[in-house]
Amino acid sequence: MKKKAVVLLLTLMMTAGAVVGCGDASTSIGKGFSGDSGEDAGDDVQVVTVWSDNAHEQSIRDAQVEEFNNTIGKQEGIKIEYTVYGSDYADVINVALMANDGPDLFRPSSNTFAKYVSAGYAVPISDLEGSDSLLSLYDKDELLVGDQIFDDKVYTLPYSLQSYKMIVNKDLFDGAGIKVAPKTWNEVREDAKKITEASNGNAYGYFLALQSGWTLDHYIYSVASASLGHYGYDAVSGTYRYSDGLPIIQNIMGMIEDGSVFPGYENMDADTARAQFAAGKVGIVMAASFDVAVYTDQFPATCNWVVCDPPSIDGSGYDYKEMVTPVDLLAVAKKSLEAKDTSKIARVLEWFYSDANLVEMYEQGMYLPYRKEVLDLASDSEVKGWEEFATFKDGQFIVRMADPKGVISYEGLSARETLAKLLSGGYSEDAATVLHDLDARLNAGLSALDDATLNEYVAPSGYKVERD
């Protein structure tokens, strides 16, 4: 793969307006992590608990943690207890943080993290003794308010970038006599129906996973950002515009009506749905860059899958730049401040963000590094599908801004809950009415914010989403 494509992405991020970018620090986090020096800490070992739901990377991360515990950890008196949860993670971490009886470090969700911060369940990284070395690698002015920064303090840090594509099962396409991947959402529906009919009940054209709400964000609105110019929240206008995605929602509802969606989608989570695609039972799926690892390691695909550009709303193509998402890896729970030595928790956080670990993740097709310095240390990845997710056209991408959903109050269901109810047939109203009501409710919440807070989520003048 052409490494320079990703380097170009991260270089351009630094000059695309002071929205988000890479730190200028040249010191590698990984220095001094080789385990070649330091004294053995004996039996005085502090356990640092870390929780995540990143199952796609678990095999690599478990091996990294084991190596840490056997080398650096023994020398410095630290043992990492790393736990990966499944689809119940959101409920488990919520209960644990509320009870102050959870982990020291946890993977934050953009959907709930702002509420955890306001409730005091999460604390700034700077509250950990010895955290300055990690924080110094990032330019605070280029971090996102409402994502990494709250009340002018850094609560988490971007680890990677996430891009979005479509993946098709070429075996099922061939079996249905389809020669070309769909270019529009109308064609997705047409092809899904052909695949379902040709498979005689053995496979279906499309999948949904309504029990994993994040798929409704990523596999519908983030995938469609180059067609919509936003991802449900439009940072340019500072308003919610889920109704812009009506043509997409109507096509998905059409696939349900056609019987082209894998059965049981109402109660299916993301892992179950993706396992069906990996087994060759689904023809078309929307995907994020982390799904390369899912279909390579977590659920190794037995079918011949191909990565394609996302479908557009109509045949005219994309009017807007492709949006990529900065993704945070870990945040600090309030419980960590009760530790005997918080500098050891800072050490673990720094280690998770280390260049050496992220290099391995990149080479294995797991993550696109946020910090461009990491790419100077990495070899090109040969993992199937990685090149398509990691290559960006010059000037035709932009890093998305934070969504204010975590700081607003509104009546009724959330966007994810609304979409799940709509796609499961829970409304008597039509899709247009439901989506316009969703926008109205969310925008009413925005209007209640003071101007200073709202302006933190509105794009600066140099933030251009239209294609050049």
Question: Can you give the CATH number for the domain in which 117 is found?
Answer: 3.40.190.10
Q: Closest Cα partner for 283 from 273, 291, 292? A: 273
Q: Does the residue 123 lie in any domain?
A: yes
Over residues 137-151, mean pLDDT? 91
pLDDT over 60 (residue 205): yes
Farthest CA pair distance, the chain? 68
In this prediction, residue 379 carries a pLDDT of 85
At 69, is the pLDDT very low, low, confident or very high (cuts 50, 70, 90)?
A: very high
Q: Does the residue 362 lie in any domain?
A: yes
In this prediction, residue 45 carries a pLDDT of 94
pLDDT over 70 (residue 450): yes
**Cα–Cα distance between 382 and 363 in angstroms, integer?**
8
At 22, is the pLDDT very low, low, confident or very high (cuts 50, 70, 90)?
A: very low
Q: Does the residue 220 lie in any domain?
A: no
In this prediction, residue 394 carries a pLDDT of 65
**Cα–Cα distance between 405 and 240 in angstroms, integer?**
10
Q: Does the residue 191 lie in any domain?
A: no
Q: Tell me the residue range of the domain where 131 lies.
A: 20-161+328-393
Over residues 85-96, mean pLDDT? 92
Q: Closest Cα partner for 98 from 123, 122, 121? A: 121
Least confident of 22-31, 76-85, 438-447: 22-31
Q: Which helix (H) or strand (E) holds 209?
A: none
In this prediction, residue 393 carries a pLDDT of 67
446 near 234, Cβ under 8 Å? Answer: no
Overall domain count for the chain: 1
**Cα–Cα distance between 56 and 292 in angstroms, integer?**
9
Over residues 151-179, mean pLDDT? 96
User: 382-409, pLDDT tens digit by residue?
Assistant: 899 999 998 876 668 899 999 999 899 9
Q: Does the residue 298 lie in any domain?
A: no
Q: Does the residue 64 lie in any domain?
A: yes
pTM of the model: 0.84
In this prediction, residue 317 carries a pLDDT of 87
pLDDT over 80 (residue 49): yes
In this prediction, residue 44 carries a pLDDT of 86
Q: Does the residue 51 lie in any domain?
A: yes
Over residues 417-421, mean pLDDT? 98
Q: In whole angstroms, what separates CA 251 from the centre of its chain?
A: 24
Looking at every residue in the chain, the average pLDDT score rounds to 89
pLDDT over 80 (residue 321): yes
Q: Does the residue 148 lie in any domain?
A: yes
